[in-house]
C-alpha cells in the first residue's frame, strides 16, 4: 500500500498499510516511543483503504481491512483515520491472536503482580487503568490483557490508551500535553483522545506478571464491593474473551486456573478517586 507503518505492542507486531498519509503519520507520532525492530516479521496486517479510487480524495472515507474483517463495518471519515487504525489493530488481535487467551480487560501491575479489570465500554476500566498508570502502577493495557495458557501469567498489551469523553479532561489535567494525541471529536464512540503510556510501562511491556486480583468495575452509584464466586467470574471472563472458544481445552484450563487462583470482586464507584481507593483497598487485602 502507498503508506505504511510498523508498530509492536506487547507480543504483537503489526504492519498497517494506508491509502492516505495522515493515519500513518498519526500512528507514527503516537507510537514513536515504542521499541522498533525493522527485522521483525509482522504477525498481523491492517489495511486502511478507500473502497473506490476516487474516494481517496472525494469525501475520503476510511474502510478497515486486514487479515480479519468485520463484514458491513462502516467506514470512518479521514479525520478519524487514527481511530480506524486503532479499530483495525484491535480487530486483528481479537480475532487472530492464538498464543494467549485474550481478555477484553485493562490491567495494571505492581511488584510483579497484576490487577485485571474487565467490563463493558463505559465501565471505566480504561480510565481507572490510565489513572493508576500515572501513579505508582505500571500500566499494562486499557483494552486487552493476555493470559499465557501455559504459565498462567498476564502479559501487557499497552497500546495508546483510548480516552473517551469526560476521561479526556480528567487525564489532560494530569499529564504532559506531549503524551496526548489529537482530539477526535464526534466519533461513533464519542470524543476520543489517545494517551501515550509512560515510558517505563512501554519499556516493561514484555515482562509477565502474576494476576493477583480480578475486578469488574461499574461506574456510578455508591462505592460498593461485591465478592464474586469463581463460577460467576469464569462466566463473565468467557464473555470478555475473544478467543476462549478457539483455544479449546487450553482456554478452559487457563481460565479455570485464573479464577481459582485469583480473587474476584465487582466494584461500583461514583468517581475516579473512590474507584482508585477501592482498587488500592482490595489490592492491599489480596497481596497481604
Partner 1 sequence: MSAVRTLVDLLAGRRAAATLAPREWDGVIGVARAEAMLATLACCVGEDDLPPSVAALFADQRAAAEVARGQALWEAEMARRALGSEGIEFVLLKGTAYAVAGLSCSDGRQIGDLDILVLALDIGRVENELLEAGWEWVKPDAYDDHYYREHMHELPPLIHKARDRMIDVHHTILPRTHRITPDALALVSDAVPTPGGFAVLCPTDMACHCAAHMIADGDLQGGLRNLWDFHCLTRDFVAADPGFWGKLDARADLHGLRAPVRRAARLARDLYGSILPSGWDGHDPGDIWYRRRLLARDDWGRATNFPLQQAFYIRSHWLRMPPMLLAQHLWTKWRKR
- In the complex, the residues that contact partner 1 under the rule CB under 8 A are 1, 13, 15, 17, 38-43, 45, 47, 49, 65-67, 96-99, 246-250
Closest contact distance (angstroms) between CB of 99 and partner 1 is 5
Closest contact distance (angstroms) between CB of 17 and partner 1 is 5
Nearer to partner 1, 240 or 247 (CB): 247
Closest contact distance (angstroms) between CB of 249 and partner 1 is 7
Nearer to partner 1, 60 or 96 (CB): 96
Nearer to partner 1, 2 or 174 (CB): 2
Closest contact distance (angstroms) between CB of 30 and partner 1 is 21
Pairwise CA distance, residues 86 & 141, whole Å:
14
C-alpha cell at 163: 480516552
Regarding beta strands 210-219 and 264-269, do their DSSP bridges make them parallel or antiparallel, or are they unpaired? parallel
Nearer to partner 1, 149 or 197 (CB): 149
Nearer to partner 1, 224 or 246 (CB): 246
Closest contact distance (angstroms) between CB of 62 and partner 1 is 15
Nearer to partner 1, 47 or 159 (CB): 47
Closest contact distance (angstroms) between CB of 69 and partner 1 is 10
Amino acid at each position: 500500500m502507498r503508506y505504511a507503518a510498523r508498530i509492536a505492542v506487547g507480543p504483537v507486531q503489526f504492519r498497517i498499510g494506508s491509502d492516505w498519509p495522515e493515519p500513518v503519520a498519526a500512528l507514527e507520532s503516537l507510537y514513536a516511543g515504542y521499541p522498533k525492530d525493522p527485522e521483525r516479521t509482522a504477525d498481523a496486517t491492517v489495511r486502511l483503504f478507500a473502497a473506490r479510487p476516487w474516494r481517496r480524495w472525494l469525501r475520503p472515507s476510511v474502510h478497515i481491512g486486514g487479515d480479519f474483517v468485520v463484514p458491513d463495518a462502516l467506514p470512518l471519515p479521514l479525520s478519524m483515520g487514527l481511530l480506524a487504525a486503532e479499530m483495525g489493530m484491535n480487530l486483528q488481535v481479537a480475532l487472530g491472536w492464538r498464543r494467549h487467551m485474550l481478555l477484553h480487560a485493562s490491567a495494571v501491575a505492581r511488584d510483579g503482580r497484576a490487577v485485571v479489570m474487565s467490563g463493558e465500554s463505559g465501565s471505566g476500566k480504561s480510565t481507572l487503568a490510565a489513572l493508576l498508570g500515572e501513579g505508582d502502577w505500571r500500566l499494562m493495557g486499557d483494552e486487552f490483557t493476555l493470559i499465557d495458557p501455559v504459565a498462567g501469567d498476564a502479559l501487557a498489551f499497552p497500546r495508546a490508551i483510548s480516552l473517551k469523553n469526560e476521561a479526556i479532561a480528567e487525564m489532560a489535567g494530569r499529564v504532559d500535553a506531549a503524551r496526548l494525541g489529537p482530539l477526535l471529536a464526534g466519533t461513533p464512540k464519542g470524543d476520543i483522545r489517545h494517551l501515550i503510556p509512560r515510558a517505563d510501562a512501554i519499556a516493561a511491556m514484555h515482562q509477565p506478571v502474576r494476576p493477583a486480583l480480578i475486578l469488574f468495575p461499574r461506574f456510578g452509584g455508591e462505592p460498593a464491593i461485591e465478592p464474586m464466586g469463581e463460577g460467576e467470574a469464569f462466566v463473565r471472563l468467557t464473555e470478555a474473551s475473544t478467543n476462549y472458544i478457539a483455544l479449546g481445552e487450553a482456554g478452559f484450563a487457563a481460565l479455570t486456573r485464573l479464577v481459582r487462583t485469583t480473587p474476584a470482586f465487582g466494584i461500583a464507584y461514583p468517581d475516579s478517586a473512590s474507584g482508585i481507593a477501592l482498587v488500592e483497598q482490595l489490592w492491599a487485602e489480596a497481596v497481604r
